A = this chain, B = another copy of it.
Amino acid sequence: MRDGAGVPLTWQSVRAEALRRISSGEWPPGAQIPNEAEWAAELGCARTTVNRALRDLAQAGYLDRRRKGGTRVPLTPVRRATLEIAIIRQDVEARGRAYGYRLLHDAAAPAPAGIRAALRLPEGAVLRHVLALHLAAGAPYCLEDRWLNSDFAPGATFETVSANEWLVRNLAYSGGDFTFYARPADAGLAALLACPEGAALFAVDRTTFAAEAPITAVTLTYAPGYRMTTSV
């Protein structure tokens, strides 16, 4: 509701009003809400402004929009959180600790079945296998176990700059999957990460594709105590 047309409505205020109606039950789950033109007329602002507000809410998972179908409040709400995925060096430095890096292994090898499947490669494919340790204040921080398409980055050696950093800096807007899970430390991990065998470790599997072409699959396993944080 708006008096005589003094202040222009912002898209944020339209979004706030929509959220109020959703959480107050005025727009219950499953309900179709007024279309953009109606709502713009009711509020006294341009349709573009309503569009921006509702588009934002849809992106956050609070609304479901489709052409001709209109806009609805989802029956089953889904919250979306944004993870910031930085280079490991930055991650360490942001925590106020000195970063270190050691390349452990770098050689071509036949890809194991799991990696082949993740990258959709045929049997017998040969990839470049890179193993490296990231350190924080001299202590093991994260083990990087990577399989990399050999056609890609043929010149790059990962002795001083990690593959992690090299790839992030040289690959804009690539797609892929992330999987987060907990795993126990086996003997090898325990030795490299300087933790007891069987310790609970946080790990991420990541696959990367650029323009449909498989680039790399990596497992990052963090030393005990690692926590990944985000806020909404």
Contact = CB atoms under 8 A, between A and B. Distances in A.
Given A76-B87, A81-B83, A200-B201, A23 B172 contact: yes
Interface in A176-226: 176-184, 198-203, 224, 226
Nearest to A183: B200
Contacts of A175: 231-232
A14 to B, nearest CB: 14
B77 A81 contact: no
Interface string A13-25: 0000001001100
18 contacts: A23-B171, A23-B172, A76-B90, A77-B168, A78-B90, A81-B83, A82-B83, A176-B231, A178-B229, A178-B231, A180-B180, A180-B229, A182-B183, A182-B202, A182-B226, A183-B200, A184-B198, A198-B198
Chain A facing B: main interface SS: strand
Given A62-B173, A76-B90, A82-B82, 9 more contacts: A61-B84, A62-B172, A76-B86, A78-B84, A178-B229, A180-B202, A182-B182, A182-B200, A182-B203
Given A169-B29, A171-B23, A173-B62, A179 B228 contact: yes
* Residue of A86, A200, A227 with highest tally of chain B CB at under 10 A: A200
A229 B184 contact: no
Contacts of A227: 179-181
A79 interface: yes
A1 interface: no
A229 B66 CA distance: 26
Contacts of A171: 23
A35 to B, nearest CB: 21
Interface string A143-183: 00000000000000000000000001111111111111111
* Residue of A19, A22, A83 with highest tally of chain B CB at under 10 A: A83
Nearest to A16: B173
B82 A22 contact: no
A230 B81 CA distance: 11
* Residue of A77, A84, A86, A181 with highest tally of chain B CB at under 10 A: A181
